[in-house]
Amino acid sequence: MSITALVIILYLGFFAAFGVYLNRGNKTASDWAIGGGSLGVFMLAAGIAGTRIGGAGTYGVAGDVINEGLGHLWYGVNSFAALFLVGLFFAIPYRRLKVVSVGQVFDHRFGSYRCQWLTSLCVQAEYLVVNIIEPYVIGSIISGVTGLPFVVGVAIGGFLIVSFTVSGGLKGTAIANVVHCSVIILGLLLVGVIAMNNLGGWEEVRSLADGMLNESGKEQAKWWSFTGIGWATIIALFISATIHTPAASVYANYASSAGKQDYLIPGFFLAGIVAAMMPMVAGFIGILTMATYGSESGLTSYLNIAQLAMDTGPILGGIALAAVLAAVISSGAPILLASATMFVNDWIPAAKHYDSDRKLRTYKIVTVIYGTAAAVIAWLGNISSVLQLLLLGFAMVVPPAIAVAYVFYWRRTTEQGVFWGMATGFAGGLIMWLFNTLFGGVDNATAGGFAQGWYELVTYLGEWRDPSFLTLMLPLIVIPVVSLFGPRPEGDGEMADEFYTRLGSIKRNFDWA
């Protein structure tokens, strides 16, 4: 057995055993879903940061840097902005309302099941993507290193994430993410420094990279520029990767998991710093990989990160692969947990009347079913750009994020405004993505009819055709218009008084009272 394979087996085995050990602390639904409300600042920060890393924040960023340039390092800036935004304006309200899914906000405010369900649908669109990507990556690594069939690797990956989530709960994922985040940052940084020195230092790396860019016919200045991917793409990346974050239900779980309300803002701030470091380090590895192999090397998936290290030596390769595994597990487990808690609380109306034991049992059953289904899709699916797929999922969550912001900060927001704002944003973004996929290819340039018309439209729009613009603008406009000019149901004033009394209001120091 190779050293690289041994490192992977030991890493996966350790966390499988660790999850079984942590199962002893999950005796109630609250223990499992929010860690019993006992996390300190650093454990809270590690748990939150892990949700932003995953495959997209590591090898996804590295791959897009290799292909398109340093503009994709904005993902790190957006990760910090996203988590700090939630910490300042949303985490405390979630905690005060005691929600474990964002859709419950609309149940508390309007008694609206349709808004709660639609929110869950939007968020699950993102989480399903994440839950599919994670076992896919683990399966790819196991298959590539050990020679086992891909389906066996995916099965192992799915089993690991599901079993760790079921046994460890939220607190278990937070504790594990302390280790994961350390392995990712230190491991990849070590790989990068050693690889750079082997190439002859930074100046030699730049020279090699410029040569590779010339060979592939790519513009050097554009590739090295932080704005080389275009401002439209940068703005779309911000909308998808940042503005959606308040509606990601996993942060409602973490908001309630802190030992004290005072831990939330520093915890989310520290998490943002840690989460921002990962894509920067991954981008650094991407530069080194491009300088060594070129942008047309055909590297995909985890090899964007690991190939350079694996060619340097088996030990360094094992460290790089352990870092990728850490990134995958760090996001996969808490997001699978949030998917299950969301499904139970938003899609099973009777669950609000379950006692703690029955709810805990239901959480775990849904986790197993959901995780298994995602692993099967990962086995059957054909995944190309992980980051682009995830950004599409992010964009679908923007409408409920805008809706929650309106409810928290504008008292006149109505249930109809929220519902139609989210519905138009979600449907508009999905239709835009579908039509771009079907008719945006150059083969439609002379197809005639609607296909050619759509091709000409998206060609004119350029990068502004991204679905995220619709998912932002439609709810931003529809919610206030419908709220101002639509009917307001009887008794809404009393529900509003009760809701906003419980919610409180934000103060100048960003505390709530």
Q: For 3-36, write each residue's pLDDT tens digit.
A: 777 777 777 777 777 766 766 666 778 888 887 7
* Residue 214: strand, helix, or coil: helix
The pTM (predicted TM-score) of the whole model is 0.86
Phi/psi at 52 (5° precision)? -95, 0
Give domain status of residue 31, yes or no. Answer: no
Number of domains in the chain: 1
DSSP structure class, residue 59: I
**CA–CA separation, 319 vs 486, rounded Å?**
58
Phi/psi at 260 (5° precision)? -140, 150
Give domain status of residue 254, yes or no. Answer: yes
Q: For 194-247, write each residue's pLDDT tens digit.
A: 889 988 999 999 999 999 888 888 888 899 998 888 888 888 888 877 888 999
Give domain status of residue 71, yes or no. Answer: yes
CA angle 70, 73, 78 (to 5 degrees): 150
Give domain status of residue 47, yes or no. Answer: yes
Q: What's the token pair of residue 170?
A: 């939220």
Give domain status of residue 287, yes or no. Answer: yes
Give domain status of residue 407, yes or no. Answer: no
Spell out the SS3 assignment of 140-181: HHHHHHHCCCHHHHHHHHHHHHHHHHHHHHHHHHHHHHHHHH
Smallest Cα–Cα separation from 338: which of 33, 27, 128, 47? 33
Give domain status of residue 468, yes or no. Answer: no
Domain holding 307, by residue range, is 3-19+36-84+111-396
Q: What is the CATH number of the domain that holds 390?
A: 1.20.1730.10
Mind listing the pLDDT tens digit of every residue in the chain (513 residues)? 677 777 777 777 777 777 667 666 667 788 888 877 788 999 899 889 988 877 777 777 888 888 888 998 998 999 999 999 999 999 999 999 989 899 999 999 999 889 999 999 999 988 888 888 888 888 877 887 778 888 998 998 898 889 888 888 888 888 888 877 887 788 888 888 988 998 899 999 999 999 988 888 888 889 999 888 888 888 888 887 788 899 988 899 899 999 999 999 999 999 999 999 988 988 998 899 888 888 766 556 566 667 777 777 777 777 777 777 777 777 788 889 989 999 998 998 888 888 888 998 999 999 999 999 999 988 887 665 555 677 678 888 999 999 999 999 999 999 999 999 999 999 999 999 889 988 988 888 888 889 999 999 989 888 788 898 999 999 999 999 999 998 888 888 889 999 999 998 888 878 887
Smallest Cα–Cα separation from 285: which of 188, 371, 351? 188
